[in-house]
Amino acid sequence: MRQPFPVNLAVVVVSFVAAAASFSSPPPPPKATTADLLAVLGPARLSTKVNPVVAKNLRSCFKFLVPFDPRSESDKKWLIRRFGDGKRGRKGKWRDEEGEDELVWEPPRVVMELARIVVDSGGDVGSVHRKLDPTMIPVPDVEDCKEDKCVLTRTPYGRVFINEELNSYLAFLFQMIASRGPTVGLNVSLNRYDLFHGHMFIAVDSGRLGILFHAKEYPAYDKKAFPYNMGYCQVGSDVPYDDEMNLRNILWLAPLPSNSSEDCEAPGVLVVLDARPDGIIYRDLVSEYVQFARTLYEVSHGLQPSLFAALGFSISWLFFRLLNMKKRRTPEIVSEKVSLIKEAIDEAEDRVVRLEERHDRLLKEACSYYLCNRESSWRRWLAQDKPGMRRGLLLIV
């Protein structure tokens, strides 16, 4: 007869198996969100709420084009400056390299005002749209786009901001990325294959204004490295698909205005987001279907889009073309308006001359009948109701 299995031994075996299972399957690491990413780049009241492990892993993927915290430098007292006291160089030129950092930490007044308006409006997208010039500027054919049947914008027209200084600042950001990118291993060119656009957004939680730039947009087709056909806009590309693709997402954040004072809670930020395959950004923030392109999307991760690539400023070289076209068109529009006004005045003067001639003719005819005929004849003449006669008599009166 078989001996029964000892109960105490069964408990030991089950406990051992459970313990072995617990050691073999560690809990999954905490996942990051875009809200975490923005919080880590924000003030202490937001960054301290992020899981410490997530925060550490996110910081390991940041490659700053401008030092993150100006307060770490003893000679920077940016917190005591009043909101909106942005500085510009002499004759409206952006200052040298030493001043470029400060232009990111504390942009010109017009940028600070836009950041303040967005926060005060509760993240209203319309607060940004209302700052755009309503003039629709046709998208020019740049770098033979039309010849290659390439369409880079969602609409055939573009718009710029009303304030020229705001336009210049956005162009300055493109130039900063291109000039400082090599310091972190990112070599980009401002052309239609590489860095030419960015997506402006408003952070849902904080109302912070930002732009997510995308470089390396159309890598060259390669059977081994990049065997993907991306359409007409890829034709002619010489952008290599290499490790620099990990750095194609560049983030600019405007200073975060305080809700309780005129100061800022956090300075501006310009940082490259490293989406290397073993990093947390690639693992948690890059959608699976675009992992080969390392693309981080602002819409799919809790950010509220406010402006897209269809707007003029969001295409670097096209932005300059649109600005130049606007400047060239201004005198043309003025000349056209003057010409229309002149034509209207000439037409009005001709009408006055014709009316005066008609007035004189009718008056002469009426006086002739009055002087040459009796009163009865005069009444008969009035009764004839000649075309335009009554109108002419009204003009006489």
Residue linked to tokens 């930002």? 210
- Read off the pLDDT of each residue in 327-346 and give the average, rounded to a whole number: 64
Are 170 and 319 spatial neighbours (Cβ–Cβ below 8 Å)?
Answer: yes
Q: Which residue has the higher pLDDT, 290 or 16?
A: 290
Answer whether 172's CB lies under 8 Å from 103's CB: yes
| pLDDT score for 7 | 47
When computed from its CA atoms, the radius of gyration of the chain, rounded to whole angstroms, is 35
Give the distance, in angstroms, between the CA of residue 163 and the centroid of all CA atoms in the same chain: 14
What is the distance between the alpha carbons of residues 315 and 213, in angstroms, rounded to a whole number? 10
**Phi then psi dihedrals of residue 197, to 5 deg:** -155, 165
Q: Supply φ then ψ for residue 69, to 5 degrees.
A: -120, 105
- Over range 119-126, report the average pLDDT: 87
Integer Cα distance of 131 and 116 in angstroms: 13
| Angstrom distance (rounded) from CA 213 to CA 177 | 9
Instruction: Spell out the SS3 assignment of 235-301.
Output: CCCCCCCCHHHHHCEEEEECCEECCCCCCEEECCEEEEECCCCCCHHHHHHCCHHHCCCCCCCCHHH
Q: Which of 148-162, 224-238, 334-348 has the highest mean pLDDT?
A: 224-238
State the pLDDT at residue 70: 66
Indicate the angle between helix axes 164-180 and 109-120, nearest 10 degrees. 100
pLDDT, tens digit (0-9, with 9 covering 90-100), for 129-179: 899 888 888 888 878 888 889 888 888 888 888 998 998 899 899 999 999
Residue type at position 344: A
Grouping H, G, I as helix, E, B as strand and the rest as coil, residue 177 is helix
- Helices 164-180 and 97-105: crossing angle, nearest 10°? 120
Whole-number percent of the chain with pLDDT over 70: 66
Query: What share of the chain in percent tops pLDDT 90?
Result: 39
pLDDT at 145: 85
What letters, b where the CB count within 10 A reaches 16 and e where it falls short, cover 17-43? eeeeeeeeeeeeeeebebbbbbbbbbe
Summary count for the chain: helices (H), strands (E) = 12, 10
The C-alpha atoms of residue 160 and residue 133 are separated, in whole angstroms, by 6
Backbone angles phi, psi at 296, to 5 degrees: -100, 120
- Average of per-residue pLDDT across 54-79: 76
Q: pLDDT at residue 293 above 50? A: yes
Q: What pLDDT does 106 receive? A: 92
Structure tokens at 44: 């202490």
Burial of 166 (0-12, 13-18, 19+ CB in 10 A): buried
Query: Please, what sign has the CA dihedral across residues 104, 107, 112, 115?
Result: negative
Q: How far apart are CA 237 and CA 208, in angstroms?
A: 35
Farthest CA pair distance, the chain? 156
Compute the distance between CA of residue 49 and CA of residue 45 in angstroms, rounded to an integer: 7
- Residue 132 per-residue DSSP state: B
Q: What is the pLDDT of residue 332?
A: 59
Mean pLDDT, rounded, of the chain? 76
Is 256:264 a contact under the CB 8 Å cutoff?
A: yes
pLDDT at position 319: 52
Lowest mean pLDDT, pick from 161-165, 174-178, 285-289, 384-388: 384-388
**Per-residue pLDDT, 274:** 97
Q: Is 211 helix (H, G, I), strand (E, B) or coil?
A: strand
Question: What pTM did the predictor assign?
Answer: 0.70
